Amino acid sequence: MCCALLVAGCGHADTTGGAPAPASPAEIFCAPAPEGFLRARLQGAIDAEIDWSAPAVAQCLGGPRPGGDGVRLVYKGAVDDAPLLIVIGVANLLPGTSARNVAANVTLVREGAGSFFSTQGDDKCALDEVRQEPIDGRAGRYRLSARGYCTQPARALGTSDAGSVLVTRFDVSALVDYPQD
């Protein structure tokens, strides 16, 4: 169920600028972003210094969280040759706004291993500063950049999982599509 929620939260934006093109299997659940990055320090059950950039590392176009109360960013890369999905949920962020001290949560998924780690709530991580700048020619699309940290670890969710992962810091850049009314 967690995988379905993560995949459903990924943006479904049209990247062609016109009529939808036939989607590859990977694009069915995630419209790929042509630019952006995630840099993070992970400590604990996953210990790594991450520096992932698109298009070399897959990431989704960001979009609203399922409840519409913020933004969801999805990045996919590898740590020690094992696939890792990182989802950052940014609370209460409106389209095109910039803000400081914004609550966030982080979920990490070791794909193929079925391991999930989550901060489970918006009270354990924060973004010092979030900036959103409009993209010329694309109504509802913004370039989001932010710097964040977690004060508590993402804890294992599965019954077979153990441990936790502390995301001591992270920097993100992403394209975010907001639905147009």
pLDDT (tens digit per residue) in 129-138: 999 999 988 8
Cα dihedral 181, 172, 150, 123, rounded to 10, equals -10
The pLDDT assigned to 48 comes to 96
Spans of all domains in the chain = 2-13+36-177
Report whether pLDDT(85) > 80: yes
Q: What is the pLDDT of residues 87-137, one digit of tens each?
A: 999 999 999 999 999 999 999 998 888 789 999 989 999 999 999 999 988
CA 110 to chain centre: 14
Provide the pLDDT for residue 8: 37
> What pLDDT score does 29 carry?
56
Burial class (CB in 10 A: 0-12, 13-18, 19+), 2: middle
Tens of pLDDT, residue by residue over 3-57, are: 443 433 333 333 333 333 444 444 445 788 889 999 999 999 999 999 999 888 8
Mean pLDDT calculated for residue range 56-77 = 89
Q: What is the pLDDT at residue 78?
A: 92
Give the pLDDT score at 137: 85
Average pLDDT across the chain, whole number: 83
Where in the chain does DSSP place strands (E)? 37-44, 48-53, 63-64, 70-79, 82-91, 99-110, 115-118, 125-134, 141-150, 154-156, 164-177
pLDDT at 11: 36
**Pair 49, 78: CB distance under 8 Å:** no
